[in-house]
Amino acid sequence: MELVAFLGDDKENWGQVTALINRMPDVEKIILVKNKSSPNFPKTEKCKLIEIDSTQPLAELKSQLHSLLSKEISKEFEVSLSLASGNGKEHMALISALLSVPVGIKLVVYSKKGIEFLT
């Protein structure tokens, strides 16, 4: 399975993404989608970083994400998706782009109970 995570300007939520990266050893590939203006994120060798311009209109942002994600996502049926960071516009564009690949999404969070899939 692959993990797709958005990294917004809200750096205080990046710990959620870091916890998922460190505690999901079975993940084959991690795709980090990050706004170009966001600070650098410490990534592992499994991580592929995609930088976007979140100031674009929503439809253009979705189109850009679709183009970039189509090249990175394997032909699996679904990906794990973390939306712990970012804003609504970024989340809508990312979800829409993933569904257009097409790939299913399984929301994942790290909580006090550990990794939880919200399906």
> For the chain, what are the domain ranges?
2-118
Q: Are 119 and 106 in contact (CB under 8 A)?
A: yes
pTM: 0.93
How much of the chain, in percent, has pLDDT values that exceed 90?
A: 76
Residues with Cβ within 8 Å of 68's Cβ and at least 6 positions away in sequence, in order, are 50, 52
Q: Are 18 and 95 in contact (CB under 8 A)?
A: no
pLDDT tens, residue by residue, 28-83: 999 999 988 887 887 888 899 999 999 999 999 999 999 999 999 987 789 999 99
Cβ-based neighbour number of residue 119 at 10 Å: 9
Q: Are 11 and 39 in contact (CB under 8 A)?
A: yes
Which pLDDT belongs to residue 76?
A: 79
Please state the rounded mean pLDDT for residues 92-107. 96
Strands 47-52 and 78-82: unpaired
Q: Topology of domain 2-118, per CATH?
A: Rossmann fold (3.40.50)
- Which tokens is 104 given? 């299913």
The rounded distance, in Å, linking the Cα atoms of 42 and 15 is 11
Strand partners, 117: 108
